[in-house]
Structure 1
Amino acid sequence: MKLFRHENRDRNDDTRRVYALFELAHTSVDFGAAFCFTVGSVLFFWKSLETQAIWLFTVGSVLFMAKPSLRLAREIKLLRMGRYEDLAERAEEE
């Protein structure tokens, strides 16, 4: 089994559910980052709101960093789920 394989997400109902939940989290992070950058950009029009704008850009950057972390966590979870399934099949054969 390898990471980032479509077969890992379509193995069974549990893997499809895990994949869907991670996709929802990934999309939420995308929207959060976009919101932070958009509002932060608007706030830069006023010098008095520059600090808040900088904070929103920082939060947006952290959210963008979370995206590949979510994808990697999802793939590791799916890979491990496959290994557990393989172990269960081997135990049944014995």
Structure 2
Amino acid sequence: MPLFKPSHRRKYVNDDKAYALFELAYTSVDMAAALLFIVGSVMFFSEDWQTPGTWCFLVGSICFALKPSIRIYREIYYFSRGDYENLVGGKSGS
């Protein structure tokens, strides 16, 4: 069993891409939640806009709930592949 296989390089490139996609999804949901809460807060200054503001808060809260969902999905994804290095935060310590 050779230590260095050309096929291992491709595996790590795919792992980097998957990890980057999970991080991108996590950051996007985080940003959406923050923006929705800011917009919802501004809407609450006007009585006419309080109902849409409430909806912004609700959708923002759902986005906050998606954050741990994305993390657990990523952890299950890596665990099912046997990729324990990425599972324990081998890429960026997160």
Give the TM-score normalised by the residue count of structure 1: 0.73
* Stretch moving more, 54-63 or 73-82: 73-82
Deviations 1:10-34, CA, capped at 9 Å, x for gaps: x722222111100000000011001
Question: CA shift at 1:43, angstroms?
Answer: 0.3
Counting aligned pairs with the same residue, the percent is 48
- Residues 15 and 81 of structure 1 are in contact (CA less than 8 Å); yes or no, is this contact kept in structure 2? no
CA RMSD after TM alignment:
1.4
List runs of 5+ in structure 1 lacking aligned partners: 1-10, 84-94
Q: Secondary structure of 2:26's match? A: helix
Q: Which residue of 2 aligns with 1:15?
A: 15
Structure with more of its chain in helix, by fraction: 1
Give the TM-score normalised by the residue count of structure 2: 0.73
How many aligned residue pairs are there?
73
Runs of 4+ in 1 over 3 A off after TM superposition: none
